[in-house]
Amino acid sequence: MTRWARFQHAGQVCHGLVQDDSVLLHSGLPWASPQPTGEVLLLESIAGQAWLPPCVAGKIVGLWNNFRAAADKNGWAHPAEPLYFLKSPDSAAGHQQAIAAVAPEVGRVAYEGELAIVIGRAAHRIAREDAAAAIFGYTCANDLTAIELLNRDASFPQWTRAKSFPGFGAFGPWIDTRFDPSAATLRTVVGGRERQNYALADMFFSPQELVWRLSQDMLLAPGDLILCGTSLGVLPMKPGTAVDISIDGLGTLSNTYG
């Protein structure tokens, strides 16, 4: 496995290659020929707010209705093409970073455990067979949503507003460049209770197909994030709730809301 983390160390923002219980610091961006600095840290020395989102995303694209089980249970049509929205890049939060609760008038907030794709090279109107090469790696994500705000105005669903509060785009703890999501399972544990457990293979559109199709609409740049959507088990949370999103073979993203 090759896992890249981003964190604060000695007052600086650092990138590091995670190997077992150690982190090998590198200069430069992980997808742009990074060079080892020779400094090595213990992984356990990175804790709490020291973790940062593992990349700075120029844009965060989120998928809606990308899992068969959720579509079938909710009576949604199977989509002919990806249905997506944009989250503000400023909604990003890293592993173990606290996510501030929204104002009471915003209403209830739900967690959504998801797989996220990290783009590693520019992709615009690429061929289908080139999509895999544009993927740098994968990470765990929590696509938080202000569910009451989303449809508060019947004339205009507020996707961007409902999904862009600070911390509503949590992802991490690292980017794994060799992870294969085809046989993996995602689990979301909320306040110590498992709420989501679903196979990533249940997607309508695989990660490679998402990259290919989205690149036909927009320029995907290195560091951009694509959230692959979520499945059954999404529920609102109370402030003070701990949420752990685990993907087999990839890692666990942990945050507390409020």
What is the predicted pLDDT for the residue at 258?
92
Assess whether the previous peptide bond of 30 is cis (omega < 30° from 0): no
Q: Which CATH number fits domain 53-257: 3.90.850.10, 3.40.1580.10, 3.20.20.60, 3.40.720.10?
A: 3.90.850.10
Q: What is the pLDDT of residue 48?
A: 87
The single residue listed with the structure tokens 């990470």 is: 139
pLDDT digits 0-9 by tens, 92-124: 999 999 999 999 999 999 999 999 999 999 999
In this prediction, the residues of the chain whose per-residue pLDDT falls under 50 are none
Sequence-ordered alpha helix ranges (H) in 124-241: 131-134, 147-150, 159-162, 207-217
* Contact predicate 134/121, CB 8 Å: yes
**Measured on CA atoms in the order 13, 17, 18, 23, is the torsion positive or negative?**
negative
Two tokens, residue 116? 């996220």
What is the reported pLDDT for 84? 98
Residue range 1-52 in CATH 1.10.700 = no
Domain ranges of the chain: 1-52, 53-257
**How many whole angstroms separate alpha carbon 39 and alpha carbon 140?**
27
Q: What type of residue sits at position 100?
A: A
Rounded to whole angstroms, the Cα distance separating 60 from 160 reads 11
